[in-house]
Amino acid sequence: MVSLGLLTSVILGTVTTYDAVSQASRTTVQRQQATQIAQSDIELIRSVAYTRIGLSASDPGFAAQFENHSTVRIDDPVVVSTEQRDLGGVSFTINRYITWTDVTGGDGTQTIGAFKSITVIVTWEARGTQTVRLDSAASPYTQPDFCTQRFVDNVGEASGVVNLYLPGDVDAPPGAHVLVAGASRGVGTILPGDLLLVVQMGGGAAGIYEYAIATSSVSGDRLSVTGNGADGGLLNRYIASEGFQII
């Protein structure tokens, strides 16, 4: 009887462990699906003209503000504020927020509504509410209907260094919002809203790169950015000792 009791306990423990592992595996798959939904949403929103990035006040899930920022209101948005999507037997709730963001330059000058912040939050139920959040941004200088207007001046044959770039002085981890850089080289200045290229030039990760948007001018040795990584920061890690640049 004692042996039978011990065997029963072992079986029950094994079943409980298997159930926990199985549930954890399902949650991992669901989290990957939620992340793909959020990424696809952000890519869709950023792919359209800047003037069409916003939300309609007539949407049932419309919110006038999100995290103390005013919502961008337009009449013909490409997405709605809230949506339900079923995938693999799981119901995902998608909440989208597009807000105006002000920036302050290194000289203290404030630009009202310099760019639009984009947040997509996906939730679903799996032993409690699970959440995936992705943040990005859209600048008027990087969208299709504005690009041709900004860079038409001084067209001619290129020679020498045609871009401004800064060498990274301190490692930049994923999620970083502030980059520490050395003296700028080349021509031009970085202004809030500018599209930047952050690229690893050497080491084992050479060639890794991403785009980010400047949210400030260079102040001293610091430059604030927003990207496609966690909480709107950088997506990748960049190593200063192996050489990375902000262009």
How far is C-alpha 25 from the geometric centre of its chain's CA atoms? 26
**Mean pLDDT estimate for the chain:** 80
pLDDT over 70 percentage in the chain = 79
pLDDT tens-place string over residues 144-177: 444 433 333 444 444 555 567 889 999 999 999 9
Tokens 């604030």 found at:
224
E strands in the chain: 65-66, 69-70, 82-87, 90-104, 110-125, 129-138, 166-167, 178-180, 195-200, 209-214, 222-226, 244-246
Return the DSSP state at 114. Answer: E
pLDDT tens-place string over residues 97-115: 999 888 766 566 677 777 8
8 Å CB contact between 245 and 168:
yes
8 Å CB contact between 225 and 234:
yes
pLDDT tens-place string over residues 9-37: 555 555 455 555 666 788 888 888 888 88
How far is C-alpha 188 from the geometric centre of its chain's CA atoms? 26
CA dihedral 29, 31, 36, 37 (to 10 degrees): 120
